[in-house]
Amino acid sequence: MTQDAETLIAKLSPGRAGKLSLVAGPLCLNFTNTASGRGDVSHQDHLRHYNDLLAWSLHAGALPVDEAVELARLARRQPEAAEKVLRRAVALRESLHAIGTAIATHTAPPAEAVAEIGQAMTEATQAGRMRWTGKGFVWELVTRPLRLERPLWPILRSAGEVLLSAPLDRVKTCAGIHCGWLFLDETRSGTRRWCEMEVCGSRAKMRRYRNRQGKKA
């Protein structure tokens, strides 16, 4: 990440959106992890304002600095529209999380979530175009005129790539209690259990230690 991006993230969002660990692999799965402590009283949603979405997108490398600056200015001029996009982003995140969790637990994904992501992917496709580079074809976003929905498009493209092409048996949910973070297990053995060994893995290890000590007492 460039120094310009780090500086802008600090200005955009005082929260954790631009500082969250990106441990899931694909962009769309990292996006589902913008909420912490799912299923617990410590639950936190890190996307509370539109600028949080911009800060996270910068942090995840899904948005260039110049566009983030323009979008922040546009959001100030159109606060109601920016709030609407934020609500859509959170809804899409929850649908992606529901689908990912279902895949990880070998259950059928909720039909409503699948329909919502499918519709959003169709819309995002319309914001792109195929271009010949001289050596091959690339798919690129058409970002002008810049729209407040811009941060959602690379997330949805990533969702399409994961859902249609990734090994779905490697989509997993962290084994940590009340964590709920998703990730794509890219280890050779396919035995990854934790979002971060240093966080949820260490907590589990400490709980096991305390349980053993309690039994000895």
Cα–Cα distance for residue pair 205/217, rounded to 1 Å: 19
143 burial level (CB within 10 Å; 0-12, 13-18, 19+): middle
Cα–Cα distance for residue pair 58/9, rounded to 1 Å: 7
Cβ-based neighbour number of residue 42 at 10 Å: 9
| CB burial string 122-138: b at 16+ within 10 A, e below | eebeebbeeeeeeeeee
User: How far is C-alpha 107 from the geometric centre of its chain's CA atoms?
Assistant: 21
Q: Which domain holds residue 77?
A: 3-216
Residue 55, domain CATH: 1.10.3300.10
Tokens of 109: 């994904």
Bond before 145 cis per omega within 30 degrees? yes
- Specify the 3-state DSSP secondary structure of 104: helix
Tell me the pLDDT tens digit for each residue of 93-109: 999 999 999 999 999 99
Residues 166 and 184 sit within 8 Å (Cβ to Cβ): yes
User: How far is C-alpha 55 from the geometric centre of its chain's CA atoms?
Assistant: 12
Tell me the pLDDT tens digit for each residue of 152-192: 999 999 999 999 999 999 999 999 888 999 999 999 999 99
What is the DSSP code (8-state) at residue 109?
P
Most confident region among 70-79, 121-130, 206-215 by mean pLDDT: 70-79
Domain count, the chain: 1
- Residue indicated by tokens 């349980």: 211
**Cα angle, residue 59 at apex, residues 86 and 104 outer, rounded to 5°:** 75
Tell me the pLDDT tens digit for each residue of 55-67: 999 999 999 999 9
Cβ-based neighbour number of residue 31 at 10 Å: 31
